Amino acid sequence: MGPLLPVRHGPPMPTLHIEHPITDLATWTAAFDAFAAVRREAGVLAEQVRHPVGDPAFVVVDLEFAEVEQAEAFRGFLEANVWAVPANSPALAGRPEATILVTVERS
C-alpha cells in the first residue's frame, strides 16, 4: 500500500484545534450549533466535530480559517464569551485546550 495523499487542494488553512471533556453530548451539540452564525461571521470556512471511539464525553473540534489572525481572534472570543460563561457552554466539563495548527510544508 502506498502513502496516503492529501485530499485538500489549494493553500493550507490554519486550524483552531479544540479538545475538552463534556457532560452530555446532546446538550453540548445544541450549544455548539447555537453559535453557527458567529463561527461563520468570524471566518470559519470548515468545521469538524469528533469524539474518541467509545468516549462521547470528550469532543475534538477543528475549525479552519483563511488566516491565522482569524483563528487567534476566535480563540479569544471563545475564551472570553463562551467558555467563561456557563450559560453559553452548558455541557463543558473541564478546561478546553485550544491550539492553532498550520500545515507543515514538505517537498
pLDDT tens for 20-55 read 999 999 999 999 999 999 999 999 999 999 999 999
- Give the architecture (CATH level 2) of 15-101: 2-Layer Sandwich (3.30)
Helix, strand or coil, per DSSP, at residue 20: strand
pLDDT the model gives residue 82: 96
User: Rounded to an integer, what distance in angstroms lies between the CA atom of residue 14 and that of residue 62?
Assistant: 10
For residue 23, give every residue at least 6 positions away whose Cβ sits within 8 Å of its Cβ, in sequence order, or none: 57, 91, 92, 93
Q: Is the pLDDT of residue 3 over 70?
A: no
For residue 90, give every residue at least 6 positions away whose Cβ sits within 8 Å of its Cβ, in sequence order, or none: 27, 28, 31
The one-letter amino acid at 55: D
pLDDT the model gives residue 5: 46
Q: Identify the H or E element spanning 60.
A: strand 58-64
